[in-house]
Amino acid sequence: MNIPLAKAEPALDEQNKQTHFDVLIVGAGVSGVGAAHHLQEQCPDKNFVILETMGTHGGTWYSHKYPGIRSDSDLYTFGYRFKPWMGAPIAEAGLILDYMGEVIEEDHLAKHIRYHQKVTKAEWHSSLGRWTITVTNTETEEELVYTADFLFMCQGYYDHDNPYTPDWPGLSDYKGQIIHPQLWPEGLDYSGKKVIVIGSGATAATLIPAMADKAGHITMLQRSPTYFWTGENRNELADQLRALDIPEEWTHEIVRRQLLALGKEIQNLSKEAPDMVKEELLKVVREQVGDDALVEKHFTPSYRPWQQRLAFVPDGDLFKAVKAGKVDIVTDHIERFTETGILLKSGQVLEADMIITATGFNLLVMGGIPFEVDGQPVDFAKRFTYRGLMLDGLPNMAHVFGYFRTSWTMRADLISDYVCRLLNHMDAAGAKVVTPTLRAEDKDMTPRPWVSEEEFNPGYMLRGRDKMPKNGDHEPWTFPTDYYVEKDLLPNYDLDDGVLIYQ
């Protein structure tokens, strides 16, 4: 696939100066492009626009430039249900961009996307029954104003410009180069250099094998191990179906269902028999690394499987780099940085020409956009979620937040379906405004975190949970985190439940 990236269009196309829309989508990443497809298909009478800060589509897959960047979910489930994936299950960023570019081309969505449009404010005016969206053109610095009847937030959930780097003692003393993967400099030369990669998650597992052949040596420094699983970067069932000339649409759906069924089994077993799942995961790593002591020390996490995402290592590339001696793993805590490297709590000193901080990202609620409702600022941390897709007291607004254990796009598709169903329901009822509204019996709900620490506990979620909307203690004021439950519920929720108030 070599579809070129979508070309940036002027902020206001000369042939189309429209600034009011039925639906305004924020973000042309995987969620926003998917939302546009569903709107066009399920609400053909609605006009819409996508506003995107960057100069092309793709979101994360465009903004991240570090070596080897690839999906940590299989593309049969991370891809859209309506667009067959025909490559290897784990794909690099360029192929994902091509895939999204094909959707834009096939659905003629380019005319709906306006690039270089950074949303700086969102205001709801009850007197007008619409949103006013203030935007800055990132190329010209011109301020623009759009209005929309319905706002669909598809901007993702982390800060693209400000990744997370701990404030380690002595950080400024280090004389070498410090790089966060999220801000990878173009043309960075690490040939022959001694590199430390701090981190043990999916980013580190991607970076390290991609750099291993070119770098002089790499040390993977981790506080605690992550669960890895591995296998060939192929799907045997997909290969068999293609050998039988089964249509790609069928192959995509069959393999998608197979992987979802497997995911459900692993998820359930992780709760019911965590020790068994742990042993099965470690067994595969032992086979790859060939050193039981190394696996015990550096690949055996302290938490149960699926409290954090499993990091998939396609074709065992990370383990091969370790086994070949190109990569060392050190499990320890940082005491301080020195001029030439890092002093560890154990007293060991690691020296490096370059240090890469694969230490995660920061949550950014609703893209960091200031919201107001009738002149009053919105504090999202004080709002209750309505089914994980709308918020109490915010009219005509939905947002996408995907699953933790199942591919993000699985929920993005379901939420788009729900929004389209809601918009069509409003039209049929002659309603212009819909607002999730707390009832008398909801007023004294106990606020709960967006997701419980017991359920899912990666660092970015623990650091940012106080900024996220709250779960209530009963439906519909909860965020269901389980695809295997929600897939049957979300398409059938009653749109006249007494909580959605129409005007």
* Token output for 269: 């077993």
Residue 1 pLDDT > 70:
no
* Token output for 361: 């990202």
Task: Return d(Cα 131, Cα 125) in angstroms, integer.
Answer: 6
Q: What is the pLDDT of residue 16?
A: 60
Task: Return d(Cα 352, Cα 330) in angstroms, integer.
Answer: 14
Task: Return d(Cα 185, Cα 164) in angstroms, integer.
Answer: 17
Task: Return d(Cα 315, Cα 310) in angstroms, integer.
Answer: 15
Q: CA dist 437 to 440, 448, 468, 501, Å?
A: 10, 18, 18, 7
Tens digits of per-residue pLDDT, 350-387? 999 999 999 988 889 999 999 999 999 999 999 999 99
Residue 5 pLDDT > 60:
no
Task: Return d(Cα 494, Cα 425) in angstroms, integer.
Answer: 11
Tens digits of per-residue pLDDT, 414-432? 999 999 999 999 999 999 9
Mean pLDDT of all residues in 207-223: 97
Residue 328 pLDDT > 90:
yes
* Residue 3 pLDDT grade (very low, low, confident, very high; cuts 50, 70, 90): very low
Tens digits of per-residue pLDDT, 152-182? 999 988 888 889 999 999 999 999 999 999 9
Residue 72 pLDDT > 90:
no
Q: What is the pLDDT of residue 15?
A: 40
Average pLDDT of the chain?
92
Task: Return d(Cα 202, Cα 309) in angstroms, integer.
Answer: 9
* Residue 17 pLDDT grade (very low, low, confident, very high; cuts 50, 70, 90): confident
Mean pLDDT of all residues in 33-40: 98
Q: What is the pLDDT of residue 4?
A: 40
Q: What is the pLDDT of residue 312?
A: 85
Q: What is the pLDDT of residue 228?
A: 87
Mean pLDDT of all residues in 457-484: 87
Mean pLDDT of all residues in 200-229: 94
Mean pLDDT of all residues in 385-406: 95
Residue 8 pLDDT > 50:
no
Q: What is the pLDDT of residue 309?
A: 77
Task: Return d(Cα 495, Cα 478) in angstroms, integer.
Answer: 16
**Which domains does the chain carry?**
20-161+363-502 (3.50.50.60), 171-357 (3.50.50.60)
Residue 106: count other Cβ atoms within 10 Å of its Cβ: 12
Per DSSP, the residues of 185-225 read PTT---TT-EEEEE--SHHHHHHHHHHHTTSSEEEEEESS-
Helix, strand or coil, per DSSP, at residue 170: coil
* Residue 459 pLDDT grade (very low, low, confident, very high; cuts 50, 70, 90): confident
Task: Return d(Cα 174, Cα 386) in angstroms, integer.
Answer: 47
